[in-house]
């Protein structure tokens, strides 16, 4: 009962409408007054007495209190009664850290030891509140619910670490100088806090990105807070985290990587086609917010971005994700900051920081080399994809993303061997199109002209391509490659590969490659080469009657072309289609649990006038379905796998690399 009464007293204090003098509108404005001498005034001393009253014995302060407002005698008595309770002590919304700054500024002018003791008590509170893993909760002592999460929200943990950093480094920022013992505690606390930051940086498909507003205090994973604050990547909170890391002298390689990765994410997620418009009433209060489409707008970032797609989202108090603020109610739309420009400060400081800390960003180079944007309208770093490739570092230690915005790019693109670790990613599969029209006759370089006809050529290992269309637009004019992959550990996902004869060439010494969720179309031998390749969940479409595959698998290779869970389709006029024929006599091609259309010939396979291929090649199927899956008329030199044999065709077995033990997951 007594505790309940204390809570009621506290709430009354937070909401009272006193007969007080509102000399200043906001408490933080008082703390940061430019006139240092003011802190020696009688007015400042009177406010300082209030601040001392609000501080609990545990050392912390409650939040959202206008401490400059005059207190009645009754209110002072109530605050004295609350001191021992530790009710609502927090670091949220700047609480405790800002009061400590006020006390420091007071002590710098007036050597009242109460101010120094208050500061040190606040510092001890911060040290006591830290988790063993280095993070801080929103409230301490711990308050049930999401308040126990490690809290970056509203810069809470960054504010704490900035206090502790100044104490640990014994700077002159604070006028109170703690003992050497406390300084050492602060050094350890700061290092633990930074370690927590590094461990909570979110990995998206294996790539470091940014941070959530709050992370689970046990698992360190992104966590929900209020109903409209779902786990997400934060465009706001991440900015101050990066600035804190950039302020560390002689950063470790892990800190450098964290900063570079976050900056790359900022570049990737910035919004330059929207502008916020605020509608105000006569009293100057916001009554509506609207996002207006605007060309070349100043960069903005969403406060909440999807953990996997980076797509901005917005929530009302029902916790349901929406795609725009227009879809949520006015109370949340107008009462919350959904967009921010906070990362621009980090982006501005990054180039000089990068040079100072020995990264690959040159002194005169202001672009982030880990994320390059291509856009035909000039809004990116380049208007041509090949120019972006030229700007990519040779043999980079980290992945380099070339993000291609929607448009039709009429060019040949080559990613050479020294540009490994490249991610070529389109804005959308349907509207990001790379096209060219070279063919065998047009190239005219002799019998090997086919290999020069590519629209896109990938020679760099460990590259990936996604979300775009690659097309050879020469039509049915002989050999004409759309995509040529002559590299190891290459992944192509969610792409359209369009052509006629020889659409897709796959090669490279002992190369392993992976195609997932792709649409691949062509005519004769439109998937050919000697690489080991797994096609998963793809649509393989024949334009006319001919051959789908022409493998040239090297002798002794365990796997060649493997199609799993693919759909084999065709144009109506393509009624006589072979699953494959051997370009070289040790060809291997297997279809597992695929849907084969009626266009597949009953024989299934053809020997390309190479009788020896019937003995040396390996063509097989397992558990396929559809009108073309009838096996009773297959050529007698092809195979139907047993269940035990089919088990060997796992992604791990097919794609494991001999040197790195690498495979796509």
Instruction: State the pairing for strand pair 314-315/321-322.
Output: antiparallel
> How far is residue 230's CA from residue 596's CA, in Å, rounded to a whole number?
43
Q: Looking at beta carbons, which pairs linking 248-254 to residues 24 or more positions away fall under 8 Å?
A: 248/194, 251/357, 254/198
Closest CA to 123 of 146, 106, 145, 99: 99
> How far is residue 331's CA from residue 214's CA, in Å, rounded to a whole number?
23
What the block records as the tokens of 354 is: 């990068």
- Any idea how long the chain is? 665
- Considering 381, 438, 461, 525, which one is annotated as catalytic? 525
Helix (H) or strand (E) holding 9: helix 2-15
Closest CA to 399 of 417, 423, 382, 366: 423
- Burial-class residue 277 by CB neighbours within 10 Å (0-12, 13-18, 19+): exposed
The DSSP call for residue 529 is E
> How far is residue 329's CA from residue 179's CA, in Å, rounded to a whole number?
52
> Do 538 and 503 contact (CB within 8 A), yes or no?
no
- Cα–Cα distances in angstroms (integers) from residue 98 to residues 61, 64, 93, 367, in the given order: 10, 11, 9, 36
- Cα–Cα distances in angstroms (integers) from residue 74 to residues 13, 79, 397, 535, 661, in the given order: 10, 9, 65, 76, 73
- Considering 92, 154, 155, 502, which one is annotated as catalytic? 502
Q: Looking at beta carbons, which pairs linking 552-558 to residues 24 or more positions away fall under 8 Å?
A: 552/507, 552/528, 552/582, 552/583, 552/584, 552/587, 553/584, 553/586, 553/587, 553/588, 554/530, 554/584, 554/586, 555/586, 555/616, 556/586, 557/530, 557/532, 557/586, 557/588, 558/532, 558/653
Q: Is 438 a catalytic residue?
A: no
Residue 303's Cα: distance from chain center in Å?
Answer: 14
Instruction: State the pairing for strand pair 490-493/464-466.
Output: parallel
Phi-psi category of 23—alpha, beta or left, where left has phi over 0 and alpha has psi -120 to 50? Answer: alpha
Q: Residues with Cβ < 8 Å from 352, sequence gap 6 or more? A: none
> How far is residue 462's CA from residue 443's CA, in Å, rounded to a whole number?
29
Angle (nearest 5°) at CA 618 between 616 and 624 = 165
Q: Is 502 a catalytic residue?
A: yes
> Do 222 and 210 contact (CB within 8 A), yes or no?
no
> How far is residue 137's CA from residue 193's CA, in Å, rounded to a whole number?
12
For residue 361, which phi and psi values (nearest 5 degrees)?
-80, 120
> Do 416 and 394 contact (CB within 8 A), yes or no?
no
Residues annotated as catalytic (active site), given as ranges: 502, 525
């Amino acid at each position: 009962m007594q505790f309940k009464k204390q809570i009621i007293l506290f709430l009354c204090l937070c909401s009272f409408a006193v007969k007080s003098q509102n000399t200043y509108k906001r408490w933080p404005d008082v703390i940061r007054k430019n006139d240092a001498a003011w802190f020696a005034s009688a007015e400042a001393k009177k406010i300082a007495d209030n601040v001392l009253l609000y501080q609990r014995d545990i050392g912390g302060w409650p939040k959202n209190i206008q401490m400059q407002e005059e207190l009645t005698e009754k209110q002072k008595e109530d605050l004295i009664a609350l001191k021992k309770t530790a009710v609502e002590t927090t670091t949220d919304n700047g609480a405790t850290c800002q009061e400590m700054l006020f006390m420091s500024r007071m002590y710098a002018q007036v050597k009242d030891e109460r101010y120094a003791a208050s500061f040190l008590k606040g510092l001890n509170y911060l040290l006591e509140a830290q988790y063993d893993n280095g993070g801080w909760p929103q409230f301490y002592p711990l308050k049930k619910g999401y308040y126990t999460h490690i809290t970056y929200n509203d810069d809470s943990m960054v504010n704490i670490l900035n206090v502790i950093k100044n104490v640990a480094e014994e700077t002159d920022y604070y006028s109170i100088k703690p003992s050497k013992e406390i300084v050492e505690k602060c050094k350890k606390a700061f290092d633990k806090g930074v370690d927590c930051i590094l461990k909570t940086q979110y990995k998206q498909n294996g790539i470091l990105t940014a941070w959530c507003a709050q992370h689970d205090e046990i698992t360190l994973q992104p966590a929900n807070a209020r109903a409209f604050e779902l786990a997400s990547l934060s465009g706001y909170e991440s900015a101050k985290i990066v600035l804190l890391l950039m302020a560390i002298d002689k950063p470790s390689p892990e800190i450098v990587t964290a900063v570079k990765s976050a900056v790359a994410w900022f570049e990737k997620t910035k919004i330059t086609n929207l502008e916020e418009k605020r509608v105000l009433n006569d009293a100057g209060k916001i009554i509506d917010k609207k996002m207006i489409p605007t060309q070349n707008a100043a960069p903005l970032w969403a406060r909440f971005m999807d953990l996997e797609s980076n797509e901005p989202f917005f929530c009302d108090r029902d916790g349901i994700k929406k795609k725009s603020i227009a879809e949520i109610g006015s109370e949340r739309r107008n009462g919350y900051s959904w967009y921010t420009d906070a990362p621009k400060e980090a982006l501005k400081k990054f180039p000089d920081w990068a040079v100072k800390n020995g990264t690959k960003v040159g002194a005169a180079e202001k672009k982030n080399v880990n994320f390059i944007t291509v856009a035909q309208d000039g809004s990116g770093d380049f208007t041509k994809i090949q120019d972006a490739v030229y700007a990519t570092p040779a043999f980079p230690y980290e992945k380099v993303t070339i993000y291609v915005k929607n448009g039709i790019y009429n060019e040949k693109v080559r990613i050479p061997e020294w540009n490994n670790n490249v991610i070529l990613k389109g804005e959308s599969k349907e509207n990001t199109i790379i096209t060219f029209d070279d063919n065998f006759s047009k190239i005219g370089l002799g019998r090997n002209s086919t290999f020069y006809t590519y629209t896109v050529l990938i020679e760099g290992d460990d590259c990936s391509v996604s979300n775009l269309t690659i097309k050879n637009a020469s039509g049915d004019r002989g050999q004409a490659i759309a995509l040529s992959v002559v590299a190891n550990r290459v992944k192509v996902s969610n792409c359209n590969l369009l052509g006629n004869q020889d659409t897709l060439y796959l090669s490279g010494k002992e190369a392993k490659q992976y195609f997932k969720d792709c649409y691949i179309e062509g005519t004769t031998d439109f998937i050919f080469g000697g690489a080991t390749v797994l096609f998963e969940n793809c649509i393989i479409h024949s334009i006319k009657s001919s051959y789908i595959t022409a493998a040239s698998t090297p002798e002794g290779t365990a796997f060649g072309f493997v199609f799993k869970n693919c759909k084999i389709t065709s144009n109506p006029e393509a009624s006589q289609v072979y699953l494959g024929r051997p370009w070289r006599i040790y060809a291997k091609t297997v279809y597992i649990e695929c849907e084969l259309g009626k266009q597949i010939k009953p024989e299934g396979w053809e020997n390309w006038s190479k009788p020896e291929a019937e003995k040396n090649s390996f063509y097989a199927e397992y558990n396929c379905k559809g009108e073309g899956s009838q096996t009773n008329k297959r050529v007698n030199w092809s195979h139907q796998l047993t269940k035990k044999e089919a088990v060997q065709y796992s992604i791990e077995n097919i794609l494991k690399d001999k040197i790195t033990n690498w495979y796509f997951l």
